[in-house]
Structure 1
Amino acid sequence: MSLSMLRYRWGSFLGTFVALLVGVAVVAGSLSLWASARPRVPDELSGAGVVVAAPRYDPPNGGYPTYRPWSAEEVDGLVARLADVPGVAAAVPDRPFYVQRLVDGRPAGDATDSLHAGRGWASAGLRTYTFGSGKAPEKPGEVVVDAALGLPVGAALPVLTAAGPATWTVTGTIDRPGYYVDDATARGLAGGVKYIGLRLDPGTRPDDVAARLPVLLGGLGTALTGDARAAAEPEGDRSTRWIGAQLIIATVLVGAFVAIFVVASTCAFSAAQRRRELALLRAVGATPGQVRRMLLAEVALVALGAGVPGALLGAALAPLLAGPFVAVGLEPTGFRVGFTWWAPLTALAVGLVVGALGVWLSARRASRVRPLDALRVAAAEPRPMTLSRWVAGSALLLCGAGLALLLPGSSAEQKPTLVLGSAMVLLVAAALLAPVVVVPVVRVVTWPARRGPTGLLLREGARVSARRVASTAAPVLAAVGFAVLLVGTFQTADGAVGVEDTAKIPESAVAARSANAPGLSETAVRAQPGRSELVSTVYLASGEPVDAIGTDVPGLVAPPSLGRTAGQSVPLRFADGSVLPVTVAAVSEGPVKLPRDLLRAHDPAALTDVVYLSGDFVPAPGAERMTARAYVERKAAEEGDLIDLFLAVLLGISVGYTALAVANTLLMATHARRPEFLTLHRAGATRAQAARVVVSEALLSVLVGALLGLAVAVPALFEARAGLQDEIGAPVTLVMPWFTLAAIVSVCGILAALGSVLPLLRAGKGALWARTMAG
């Protein structure tokens, strides 16, 4: 029976079909991306059968583990002992360092990849490569490079390292990216060693070698084999993957949530329109359980029919996103997407669950229809608000209002969370209570045209069909409120951060890293007159990594979280693995601060982000002069690019689904209003006049939804701005995302108009109007 109903009423299920198809495709593609985005064994260590990692620190609150570096003495001792283990051909400490090629005096290549582009020649043996020409580097100033650079043996190669610019001589080429220098030079340019790669004798099993190492290593490290070697992936790549994973997770959650919303609204509206049909089934003996099972079976068939092509489509399109993900910084270089069998199957299961959840409430309500409703012929809705909708809407309204009342007494840190939580709860409450406010809002909006025939039809149509108007307005309300609140809050916060950061930089000009460099070299910093901050990492006795700033302080400036007072000594492990007791000079909020020269002496790979100029800027490779405000704006823009990408994806999904829900609801409503159009025709209305009425109703529904969404989002934006002003202690300009608002309303309006008028426009082809006029 369910299959027969689908064939007969396929138009009513079109929106559900498209929503589920797109939703399953999004989930399948996202899961394929997520499965391929797992940490992988670095290419530089792919030839090491066993990787020995330094002592590991696991954050107590979760997150990625980190490895603290060995000291030089520990490295030398481990390398000597590991080389004597049976089956080990060589033990090679991995020493990556920053290096970029200079082209016309400017850094070239990817800034992130350059942080670990250099290595000692011994490390080349930890990966598979083919020697093209020349010989290995034997002394300082010699380098082996990737043959793809097109540099002949003997060519001079200008480079930029953390120490400063240099010119190396190419002694050989290989078929792999990177810059390989003699091991002594690598030791001087790199920080501490965290991994030692073991090249094994032919035929030796990595697990056999790893089994011999725990006693030898003691507490100094862990042996990694197989996929576990992915733990040695550079921290920058790991961080990039984490950012990409957050977008993928958000995409799946938002896609599933909005799909449930669309399916639920579509099924609820469809069930309401089929009230007489379901009442007839009840009249001929169908039980409430049979009605529920029929509706669930219908959606299950739709979900299966949409889920199979959607899952295959998402899995097929996912590999095409690998390039864009790398380009925007969501995945590291070399990211590839392969086929994962469980991704489309999981997406198909999600589609079936989403369909069942979306239809469940409407199926329960529809199963309770009375058999006598089969005799009802009036188009008026006797009760647009059900008891459950009243209860849920009122409860959420009180909850959202309660959160808003907590704002005056909350701290500056708590206000953003309270504002966002209150607004989201109120948006859901407004969507549930929309039928209550539809009629008053429509009367206000149509007041200027109340005496005309179109205005009269709009006002009275909204009065007798409040649920239909609310069904169209609710998704627009949610999309407008969500978009205005989210985009407006982020854009306002960006402006606030710029104000706050600029206030911290009193100098009128700075020497900052150029756009294609990860930081300033020591030579560039020393040439500038002014104050600089060297960025590094130190490790506590527990192995916990702590960000450290090298600046002009007499000793350690420790945050209260370290639990030390002035005059006490703290043992710190530096980036080169050296452990030194450092005396606390002062206790202050903020990052750990150390004398710059001390931090530089123990971290040759550290880079400086900016120098606050007190004199004239001195040109240097990788450095550029800019105003303090321009520097702050660039930093904000770099962070804002990722935020904008997140917003674009989330809004694209939510707005796309919203437009789909609006168009489908109106398309279904227009098909169901054939008797009403017949009455209009008999009263003298032409097809053009009827089209104007339905288009006006559609645009009115979109306008009502937009106004209700703004009624919730705009006050929340003002509260968010007030919280930011309290936090930074300076005026903040409220940013209203007019372009986003106009785009959402325009898209919804266009699709609403098309969804409502298309059935009428088919009249020339003998479709709906011709059948309607025939009675």
Structure 2
Amino acid sequence: MSLAKAMVRYRWASFIGTFVALLLGVAVISGSLALWASAQPRVPAALSAAEVLVASPRYDPPEGGIPSYRPWSPDELDQLVERLGRIPGVDSAVPDRSFYVQRLVDGKPVGDAGDAVHSGRGWASAGLGPHQLKSGRPPERSDGVVVDAALGLPVGATLPVVTAAGPATWMVTGTIDGPGFYVDDATARSLAGGVRVIGLRLAPGTSPTEVADRLDLGALGTPLTGAARSAVEPERDSRTRWIGAQLIIATVLVGGFVAVFVVASTCAFSASQRRREIGLLRTIGATPGQVRRLLLAEVVLVALGAGVLGSVFGALLAPLLEGPLVAVGLEPTGFQVGFSWWAVVVSLLTGLVVAALGVWLSARRASQVPALDALREAAVEKRPMTLSRWVFGLLAVVVGGGLAVLVPGSTAEQKPTVVLGSAMVLLVAAALLAPVVVVPLVRLVTWPARRGATGMLVREGTLVAARRVASTAAPVLAAVGFAVLLVGTSQTALEAVGIEDTAKIPETAVVVPASAPGLSEAAVVAQQGRSELVSTVFLTSGKPIRAAGSPTADGLFAAPSLGWNAGQAVPLRFEDGTVQTMTVSAVRDDALIDTVVLPRALLRAHDPTALTEVVYLAGSFTATPGAEQVTAREYVEREAGEEGDLINLFLAVLLGISVGYTGLAVASTLLMATYGRRQEFVTLHRTGATAGQAVRVVVVEALLAVLTGTLLGLAVAVPALFEARAGLQDEIGAEVTLVMPWTTLFAVVGMCAVLAVLAGTLPFLRRGGLSVGTRTMAG
């Protein structure tokens, strides 16, 4: 260990890349784990004062995903409330009824549209939360409401609102010290859908666990206490958290994987530069095992320092992402990040494991080098390609080429996936075989400058050091290829979706929600056009399926995926909990997967909270609160934009991590290479070269390596983009414009070029290293 400490101090430049890679990787993992720990489901604030919550029957999708709760029927609910209220220790059993409501200011909805879906409640539900009445009195009439005191509305003020039924004007009867709109229970019953949660308030000193144990609900529901009450979090919030969790998991995986790649790359390059040093150790009696342990101990020491700093750094920075995550819809309102010690410890240990994995292969290869071979190693590389690179590189070519051959025979739906898979594998192949491709490519690129002094030095120097150039070009190749391929494919696909969806809308104008989660019934009735009311119905298994209410439907129409036949009797449970057996009128091939189409009036009668997504205008637009008119193309672009924003966010995070590490790998490789070429630059100086000329050689070599990687990446990615566009055109039967992500390309290449130049010239700016002064260089 003492020798390892001495080597780290002496060869610190060789460990800069490893240190920074591990620090950033551990910081990403630490921050992501802190976010994940804080993003777990929580007890809804409006129900947090209820010591016991009884949840309705739960359905867990067999393929995994977010569970759902089907509502109790009115009879089940009444019997259950009465029965729970008689349990010893229970003061009250209150069904929680929530509904959509938004305040109107100047005729426009205000506030968070997502939170508004369940912001309205009956006054009885106020006792299930921690908030208290601050002024006024509870609502007693259908036009009364208790509001959040933070709104600044005095008792007696009028409050314009919009609900699923339409606009209304309520009078403020009181204020409460918390968010929400509380109306009398009769009004809540008419505005809300089915009940899925019953809150129990207990007598003082009563144990919630003991009360829950006394409840024998069977299949009617599940009692929840303590932290388990978070299971009744609104499904919208759970879905939002689930999406956020996918991004966090992807960030951890990509961060960890790329960190291993960068550490392995820098360690391998460092080991190749230390062949003489390792050979000397072998000559004086060091065994292969001792060499491996030395290299491993060096990286572990670096990992400890980087891990401690990175784990604390990531945990402290995580709270800064609270606002952005809520703003982009990856976390619900009120999301807060706390400091998690376990996240710090786990990320630190992960950093040590990543360091060990990254160094193991290079340490094993370096320890097997014969002593005399290492001591006789010349400066010119004799074998830039190892056997493993040949094997895996050629295997990747075969697999990627095989997938490319399958493209013409694939279906329109399969082509984009096959093209993407082929391109990914070929990018890996290009990175592995880069030392082979570098030589002819460098000859071609440097041909015009072969007669100048700098051009000749760069040309000949790179030709005899193909592995060094490939080590710099390979990460650039991967970054450029992945960035162009992923961003270009996703943007071209969104363009195709917009063209396809616009063609499906014969109308030139549509009415859509404005700052609201959907259109109210009054907004729909005011327009002349076709629309669907979207709701949910439940099968006897408890599985929820999509229900569309159409004014032209005169029965039950089902999607083929449900496996029903015309004339079959099917019991359905609606949003209000009512169960009704209906006969399938027909099976429609044009229905969405797992969807039923019902008469609009029937669906509305059973779901007073349902909102309409869009109205396709057949006449003129009538202005109503929460509605606006847009063109069909604008509507499609808005819908695609919401999905595209989420996709772009995922791509930005993944590319940000991978491209950041790419720049780090490039900088680390060139920094180590420049330090390792000290004697070469001293020789140049003694033959008459100035320090400025040596710097120009390094700069041009760095830019040449970046250019080489860029050209190789584009050589794989651009043809794949054209193939992907062709597949999309076949799928939708229309011309699709290829979107080339120039901004992304220039940003990636520019960052790699700047970092490469800085890393290559940094040693020349340090006294005691490669000084700008020629005397220091020569000395």
**TM-score by structure 2 length?**
0.97
Contact 2:209 2:225 in 1 (8 A): yes
Aligned equivalents of 1:722, 1:67: Cα separation in 2: 44
Partner AA of 2:411 in structure 1? S
Name the SS for the 1:586 alignment partner. Answer: strand
Other-structure match for 1:534: 533
1:738-775 superposed Cα distances (whole Å, 9 cap, x missing partner): 11000000010011011111212336998375576434
Residues 1:598 and 2:590 aligned together: no
Aligned residue number for residue 546 of structure 1:
545
Does structure 1 residue 22 correspond to structure 2 residue 24? Answer: yes
- Equivalent positions of 1:744-763 (< 5 A) are 744-762=748-766
**Selected match of 1:632 from 633, 636, 642:** 636
The residue that corresponds to 1:657 in the other structure is 661
2:570 is aligned to 570
SS of 1:403's partner is: helix
Q: Where does 1:240-251 land on structure 2 (aligned, <5 Å)?
A: 240-251=240-251
Q: What is the DSSP-based 3-state SS (H/G/I as helix, E as strand, rest coil) of the residue aligned with 1:59?
A: coil
SS in 2 for 1:138: coil
Q: How big is the shift at 1:373? A: 3.3
CA contact (8 A) 1:762 1:769 kept: no
The C-alpha deviation readout for 1:30-77, integer Å capped at 9, x for no partner, is 001001100001011101111111111111111121111111111111
Letter in 2 for 1:296: L
Deviation track 1:433-487 (CA, whole Å, cap 9, x = no partner) reads 1000001111111121122222222221121100000000011111111111110
Deviation of residue 408 (structure 1)? 2.1
Mapping of 1:320-469 within 5 angstroms?
Answer: 320-376=320-376, 378-469=378-469
In structure 1, C-alpha distance between the alignment counterparts of 2:258 and 2:95, rounded to whole Å: 50
- C-alpha contact (below 8 Å) 1:23/1:256 kept by paired residues: yes
Residue identity in the other structure for 1:380: V
CA distance in 2, matches of 1:389, 1:404: 22
For the residue of structure 2 that corresponds to 1:446, the secondary structure is: helix
Structure 1 stretches of 5 or more lacking a match?
Answer: none
Q: Show CA shifts across 1:92-136 (max 9, x none).
A: 111110000000000000000000000000000001112210000
In the aligned structure 2, how far is the partner of 1:266 from the partner of 1:338?
35
Alignment of 1:30-429 (within 5 A): 30-214=32-216, 217-376=217-376, 378-429=378-429
What is the CA-CA distance between 1:325 and the residue it aligns to? 1.2
Which deviates more, 272-281 or 322-331?
A: 322-331
Q: Is the 8 A contact 1:42 1:232 kept in 2?
A: yes
**Which 10-residue stretch deviates more, 261-270 or 374-383?**
374-383
Shift of 1:643: 1.5
Which amino acid in 2 is paired with 1:147? A
Residue number in structure 2 paired with 1:506:
506
* One-letter amino acid of the counterpart of residue 404, structure 1: A
Cα-to-partner distance string for 1:190-219 (whole Å, 9 max, x where unaligned): 1111111111111111111111112xx221
C-alpha separation in 2, matches of 1:440 and 1:741: 24
SS at match of 2:99: coil
Instruction: Please list the CA deviations of residues 654-704 of structure 1 after superposition, one character each: whole Å capped at 9, or x if unmatched.
Output: 111111111111111111111111221122211111111110000000011
Structure 1 residue 343, shift from structure 2 partner: 0.7
Name the aligned partner's letter for residue 565 of structure 2.
T
Query: Aligned residue pairs: how many?
Result: 772
| Equivalences for residues 723-762 of structure 1 within 5 A | 723-762=727-766
Alpha carbons 1:677, 1:772 under 8 Å: kept: no
Q: 2:453 is matched by which residue type in structure 1?
A: P
| Matched residue, 1:717 | 721
CA contact (8 A) 1:763 1:770 kept: no
Which amino acid letter does the alignment assign opposite residue 303 of structure 2?
A
2:602 & 2:112 partners in 1: Cα distance? 30
2:66·2:239 contact (CA, 8 Å) conserved in 1? no
CA gap 1:439/1:469 in 2 versus in 1, 3 angstroms: same
Mean CA deviation greater in 452-461 or 77-86? 452-461
Kindly state the Cα deviation for residue 640 of structure 1 after the two structures are TM-superposed. Answer: 1.4
SS in 2 for 1:531: strand
Q: Matched residues in 2 for 1:600 and 1:377: separation? A: 82
Question: Could you tell me whether the CA contact under 8 Å between 1:678 and 1:772 is conserved in 2?
Answer: no
> For 2:620, which of 616, 623, 626 is the aligned residue?
616
Q: Root-mean-square deviation (CA), in Å?
A: 1.4
Q: 2: CA distance between counterparts of 1:400 and 1:458?
A: 33
Match of 1:675? 679
Partner of residue 483, structure 2? 483
Going from structure 1 to structure 2, the CA distance change for 1:157 and 1:773 (only over 3 Å counts) comes to: closer
Deviations 1:692-738 (A, max 9, x none): 11100000000111111111111221222122222222221111101
Alpha carbons 1:484, 1:713 under 8 Å: kept: yes
Contact 1:120 1:183 in 2 (8 A): yes
CA distance in 1, matches of 2:719, 2:675: 39
- Aligned: 1:518 with 2:517: yes
The answer on whether the counterparts of 2:488 and 2:741 sit within 8 Å (CA) in structure 1 is yes
Contact 1:57 1:65 survives alignment (8 Å)? yes
In the aligned structure 1, how far is the partner of 2:768 from the partner of 2:480? 36
Is the Cα–Cα contact under 8 Å of residues 191 and 575 in structure 1 kept in the other structure? yes
Task: Give the Cα separation in 1 of the matches to 2:316 and 2:381.
Answer: 46
Equivalent pair of 1:519/1:609 in contact (CA under 8 Å): yes
Aligned equivalent of 2:13 = 11
Secondary structure (helix, strand or coil) at the match of 1:447 reads: helix
The answer (yes or no) to whether the contact 1:674–1:772 under 8 Å persists in 2 is no
Q: Distance in 2 between matches of 1:369 and 1:434?
A: 23
Q: Is the 8 A contact 2:97 2:188 kept in 1?
A: yes
Contact 1:95 1:186 in 2 (8 A): yes
Structure 1 distance, partners of 2:293, 2:737, is 55
Distance in 2 of aligned mates of 1:375 and 1:602: 85
CA distance in 1, matches of 2:357, 2:718: 32
TM-score (norm 1): 0.98
Write the deviation string for residues 280-328 of structure 1: whole angstroms up to 9, x where unpaired: 1111111111111111111111111110111111111112211221122
2:761 and 2:341 map into 1 onto residues whose CA distance is 43
Contact in 2 for aligned 1:550/1:595 (Cα 8 Å): yes
Sequence identity percentage: 73
How far apart, CA to CA, are the structure 2 residues paired with 1:707 and 1:354? 31
Amino acid at match of 1:32: A
Alpha-carbon distance in structure 1 between the residues aligned to 2:629 and 2:778: 78
Contact 2:103 2:111 in 1 (8 A): yes
Q: Conserved in 1, the CA contact under 8 Å of 2:91 and 2:202?
A: yes
1:374 deviates by 4.6
Per-residue deviation, 1:376:
2.9
Q: How far 1:419 moved relative to its partner?
A: 2.2
Shift of 1:329: 1.2
Which moves more between the two structures, 757-766 or 249-258? 757-766
C-alpha contact (below 8 Å) 2:442/2:708 kept by paired residues = yes
Residue type at the aligned position of 1:535 = V
CA gap 1:766/1:222 in 2 versus in 1, 3 angstroms:
closer
